[in-house]
A and B are shown apart, each in its own frame.
Chain A
Amino acid sequence: MKKTLFISFGLVFSLAASAQKLSTRNAEVSFFSATPVENIDATNQQVSSILNLDNGQFAFLVPIKAFQFEKALMQEHFNENYMESGQFPTAKFTGEIVDYNKISLDKDGKYTLVLAGTMTMHGVSKEIKQEVMVTVKGGKLSLKSDFNILASDYKVEIPAAKADNISNSLAVKVSATYD
């Protein structure tokens, strides 16, 4: 009994260990804030992501300080006054692709599926469910998702004096191509 148990446990463990995962360090996250006064646009190309090919579970890790702005001072204020990246250096997004088994990795194709998971940013976690475009091309898999988030949902305060310059609603674009 004991022996079988150990063997089966060992089996489960080795299965887990051999789960096929794809990852990338060059995933991209950008956001855009539009107000009549000014547009703010920042891109982060140092996002890392990992995808478990067995079950469609994924994780994104976004170093906040790596967001690049057009103006140096905007970038400083983003980090210092809004995202407080000294205390909250990363944003995280974990979850799974719903109906992942619809994807066939053997042939090229495009799928519109749903990402469901938890986004943690500025110390606040929120459930997220958004459409994702999955592309398989030449055996490579990539994800692309566009959605809006509210700064206030993550306790990122925009003072009244800055409300004309910074929108509370931000258009976020996420894309990753796994190697």
Chain B
Amino acid sequence: MTKLYFFLILALSLNLSAQDDLLAELEATSLPATEYTFATWKGTKVVNLQTNEMPGEGVLQYTILHRFGAFNQDFVYNFFGLDNAQVRLTLDYSPKEWLNVGLGHTGFLKTYDAFAKYRLTRQSKGEKNMPVSITGFSSVYYANQRFNDGLDRNATTRFSFVNELIIARKFTPNISAQIVPTLVHFNLVETPNDNNTIFALGLAARYKITKMHAITVEYVPQFNGNSYQVPGENGAAPSLEKFSNALSIGMDIETGGHVFQLFVTNAQGVAEPYVFAQNTGSWLEGDLHFGFNISRVFTIKKKK
């Protein structure tokens, strides 16, 4: 008799859960096989490093990047560094979902540049399991500054190049990080002892404190960085000092079509080669700069 009740209950529960069974049937057969991670970062840059993000296909992006004068350079007299700010402007476009190309101009050494960013893999789980998103970034810079030293310079000496391989992972909805093997090449360096090609390893992480705000930190140590000459004080002989590694701490603020990034960094050059391999600012000596990156996107080609 107890068995009979058992079966009755079983039959009843089968009936009750029929709707859930329908759902289970759907879940088993129709969910997308691979789920891709998105929005690993809010912007296309952390501070100075690129992120694996790029504007969507058919989207034009305009960015304005500012690095104010240092805290230790007559800060108040220079209107909190604003009077000797360095500026960089870029315009980029994504003709494909996986490709972004752009042009930039940087005030420092009156540099013009062209760059491309290309997605190699996307972090995903499911049928296709990929632990990280890998994106490449390559750019070429032309320093157009006039020289008054009377020496002949051919154009090739004015070029420099940067390649970044951005390996990023979104660990949780709030925590993302990336490592960025970086290669900087200068066609011309100061002395024969300097390296033309410098290797660096960018490290960056973010933590989202609200849906619209995130804290970011970024550090780019060089493996074979060059040195620069510091004039000696009071007639002393000039000394050599190592170029610094760029360290930046910032905050991302997202407002619809804009991302505002506010930060403190020891690198003022804005363009990648100067930030990663020719940075004379030191955190310990107070060579810190307020800075911001602002981006605005325009959808040129609508998706449907």
Contact = CB atoms under 8 A, between A and B. Distances in A.
Interface of A: 2, 5, 9, 12, 16, 21, 23, 25, 43, 46, 48-50, 52, 55, 57-61, 63, 65-66, 68-73, 75-77, 79-81, 84, 86-87, 89-90, 92, 94-96, 117, 159, 161-162, 165
Interface stretch (B52-60, B65-73, B272-280): B52-60
Contacts of B303: 68-72
Interface stretch (B25-33, B131-139, B147-155, B218-226): B25-33
A92 B25 CA distance: 13
B146 interface: no
B48 to A, nearest CB: 23
Given A52-B18, A57-B18, A73 B26 contact: no
Contacts of A23: 25-26
Nearest 4 pairs of A and B residues by beta carbon: A72-B56, A48-B30, A59-B22, A80-B39
A55 B14 CA distance: 14
A127 to B, nearest CB: 13
B255 to A, nearest CB: 7
B257 interface: yes
B14 A16 contact: yes
A96 B211 contact: no
B99 to A, nearest CB: 14
Given A61-B31, A89-B35, A159-B212, A94 B23 contact: yes
Most buried by A among B23, B212, B302: B23
A72 B18 contact: no
Contacts of B39: 76, 79-80
B23 A92 contact: yes
A109 to B, nearest CB: 24
Contacts of B56: 71-73, 75-76
B299 A66 contact: no
B173 interface: yes
A94 B299 contact: no
Contacts of B26: 23, 48-50, 59-61
Judged by DSSP, the binding face of B is mixed
Interface in B131-183: 173
Nearest to B24: A59
Given A68-B303, A73-B56, 13 more contacts: A5-B7, A48-B30, A57-B19, A58-B19, A61-B26, A72-B59, A73-B55, A80-B38, A80-B39, A81-B254, A89-B35, A94-B22, A161-B255
B19 A61 contact: no
B86 to A, nearest CB: 28
Nearest to A61: B26
B4 interface: yes
B11 interface: yes
Contact of A70 (B22, B23, B302): B302
A87 B23 CA distance: 19
Contact of B19 (A71, A81, A96): A96
B32 A50 contact: no
Contacts of A65: 32, 35-36, 38
A150 B69 CA distance: 49
A81 B11 contact: no
Contacts of A68: 303-304
Contacts of B59: 71-73
A25 B28 CA distance: 12
A66 B303 CA distance: 13
Contact of B57 (A55, A72, A81): A72
B256 interface: yes
B20 interface: yes
A52 B30 CA distance: 17
Contacts of A49: 26
